[in-house]
Structure 1
Amino acid sequence: MGYQGLFVGLTTLDFIYLSDRYPQANQKVVALDYLSAAGGPATNAAVAFSYFGNQGKLLTVLGQHPLCQLIKTDLENYPIDILDLIPEKSASPSVSSIIVTASTGERSVISINALKSQAKRSQIPEDILTNVDIIMIDGHQMEVSWELVKVAKSKQIPIVIDGGSWKPGFEKVLSFVDYAICSANFYPPQCHHTEEVFDFLQNMGISQIAITRGKQPIQYLDRGKISTIPVASINALDTLGAGDIFHGAFCHYILQANFPTALSKAANIASKSCQFFGTRSWLTS
């Protein structure tokens, strides 16, 4: 087995539909294809990390609801240990409904994420960071994440954040982070432009920052210098989970390469995933 990674955050049950058009009001559309899978940023990142022969630990909230068995069944296919912060939880896990437009690969998602499933620091398993080479947090379990990054920093474990969007509490976590990998939708308070985001994160003490922008070049800052990395031109079938997969691949590559190389290689993996329907088919191609 390769590296050991801890992924902290959201797990959902995704119902994914491939459609030749987006439904209009009061319209019924028959899907071209359908599948279900475990989803969520930390979860998909853990799966991508395992693709390289690594072992992932997924620290999340599931519980005892019957729908959780569908999530566990999917994740049994990968070398991932699920560590449930609230195993006694009886309510439904977060469920996402997703429509992917076949002609463009663009996706539309509706979900309640983890707002109703927040764990406390007292629920963190003991010795969770033992033999961990890297930790990634997606911001959906902020209290737990804050506690973990403080310990990880003291152990010199690299810390990555998935900055998909700004979430309250990030301001406490960011000062411990080594790598901030953000989407173009990540805007901290009072930030409205990319330059302001770079400045904000640098002021938090982060020297290696990247902002992914879909098919546009990745902008990144490496120790004071801003540069770009091109993204492969592809015919995208499905962009769902591409950012999550990018993060999981980055966590693998950054343990063996410099920052821009890790970004470039992770981008290639994310581009590959976009050429297949759903978040799993690329793994066996």
Structure 2
Amino acid sequence: MRLLFAGLATVDLVQRVQRLPGADEKVQSESVEVAAGGPAANAAVTAAALGASVTLVSVVGAHPLGDLVRADLAAHGVTLIDAAPDSPEPPPVSAVTVLATTGERTIVSRNAGNRRVTMPAEGLPDADLTLVDGHHPALATAAARAARRLLVDAGSWRPVFADVFPHAEVVACSGDFRHPGAAPIDAATADAVAAPHVVVTHGPGPVRWFSALEAGEVAVPPVAAVDTAGAGDAFHGALAVALARGDRNLPAAIAYAIGVAAIRVQHAGPRSWLTHLS
């Protein structure tokens, strides 16, 4: 099973605290961890942990911080294609603070900003299924057009999605997603996404799905959340695996992805949870 992920790779600085500081206040964290982050990168790490052969195409560059991203991806079985290997700019950095009492997180990030990249000189590898997250629009568009089967992580609206959605088999939206000029995604507005299948997550609430002739929802089992950072990315990585392995039953694929995301939120830290996947 060969999967391609195209999108954002960041340096995530994750700190766990008992309470969030107020303005002009300092608190001591319980732990500090550094890992590769970003929707596509986290989903790629999840898919690799689930046994897929995974390639991530992103922008990391030659800045010393990029070594942290490369090392973490390599340690977790993800092959990186860097679309701008000589770029002196630092990779995007996210400061993630996790509240130990609830598992909720706050994130301050720059993401990819306005960086413009082109296709890697070697092109893109063949894959059974491709996931794009909409970051780095040129990469997203090229990957979408070349994909055999396309899954889109649509956490929030990005202009490139107008070009990407028509190529998608499944678009996975967050509950906060808003197509321009449209209401939240439901049975009446799912057509605006222009994909055969639309999935909408709602945190701990049921995951709703919409297809041309039917719709439904899949329950999310209650779990004790310890760390919710990256839970949506884990869901998307697992959904990519379920779809690529030939599971054409969308509710079953969603249920599998929910199960993986549930494991993620029950364990602290960006990577320790991977050891609990069977």
TM-score by length of 2: 0.95
Distance 2:159 2:45 in 1: 26
Q: Tell me what 2:207 maps to.
A: 218
Contact 1:207 1:224 in 2 (8 A): no
Tell me, yes or no, if the aligned pair for 2:176 and 2:184 is still in contact at 8 Å. no
Question: How far apart are the structure 2 equivalents of 1:81 and 1:194?
Answer: 34
> In the alignment, which residue of structure 2 is the partner of 1:230?
219
| Conservation of the 8 A alpha-carbon contact between 2:177 and 2:185 | no
Question: 1:134-145 to 2 correspondence within 5 Å?
Answer: 134-145=129-140
Mapped partners of 1:216, 1:17: distance in 2 = 26
* 1:156-210 residue CA offsets vs partner (Å, 9 max, x unmatched): x110000011011211111111110111121110122232541311xx2x12110
Query: C-alpha distance in 2, partners of 1:224/1:22?
Result: 46
Alignment of 1:201-216 (within 5 A): 201=193, 204=194, 206-216=195-205
**CA distance in structure 1 between the aligned counterparts of 2:198 and 2:58, rounded to whole angstroms:** 25
| 1:197 to 1:66, Cα distance in 2 relative to 1, 3 A | farther
Answer whether contact 2:2 2:128 (CA < 8 A) is retained: yes
Identity %: 33
| Alpha-carbon distance, 1:90 to partner | 0.4
Q: Tell me the equivalent position of 2:233.
A: 244
Whether the 8 Å CA contact 2:82–2:120 is kept in 1: the answer is no
Corresponding residue for 1:16?
14
Matches within 5 A, 1:28-177: 28-120=26-118, 123-130=119-126, 132-152=127-147, 157-177=148-168
- 3-state SS, counterpart of residue 164 of structure 2: helix
Note the C-alpha offset of 1:264. Answer: 0.5
Query: How large is the Cα RMSD of the aligned pairs?
Result: 1.3
**Contact 1:97/1:110 (<8 A) preserved:** yes
Identify which of 254, 258, 276 aligns with 1:263.
Answer: 254
5+ long unaligned stretches in structure 2: none
Normalised by the length of structure 1, the TM-score is 0.92
C-alpha distance in structure 1 between counterparts of 2:200 and 2:237, whole Å = 15
Distance in 1 separating the partners of 2:25 and 2:263: 33
Which one is further off, 169-178 or 222-231? Answer: 222-231
Q: Is the 8 A contact 2:15 2:33 kept in 1?
A: yes
CA distance, structure 2, for counterparts of residue 245 and residue 117 of structure 1: 26
Contact 2:81–2:120, Cα closer than 8 Å, also in 1: no
CA deviation digits over 1:222-260, x for unaligned, max 9?
333221100010110110000111111011111231211
* 8 Å Cα contact 1:45-1:248 kept in structure 2: yes
- Structure 1 position 127, deviation (Å): 4.7
1:277 aligns with 2:268: yes
Aligned length: 273
Q: Which secondary structure does the structure 1 equivalent of 2:75 belong to?
A: coil
SS of the aligned residue for 1:254 comes to helix
Q: Which runs of 5+ in 1 are unaligned?
A: none
Q: Give 1:126 deviation, angstroms.
A: 3.4
- Kindly tell me: are residues 197 and 85 of structure 1, through their superposed partners in 2, closer, same or farther at Cα, counting changes over 3 Å? farther
For 1:149 and 1:184, how far apart are their aligned partners in 2? 23
Q: 1:125 Cα shift?
A: 3.8
Q: Is 2:189 the counterpart of 1:191?
A: no
Task: Indicate if the aligned counterparts of 1:187 and 1:197 stay in contact, CA closer than 8 A.
Answer: no
CA distance in 2, matches of 1:284, 1:125: 35
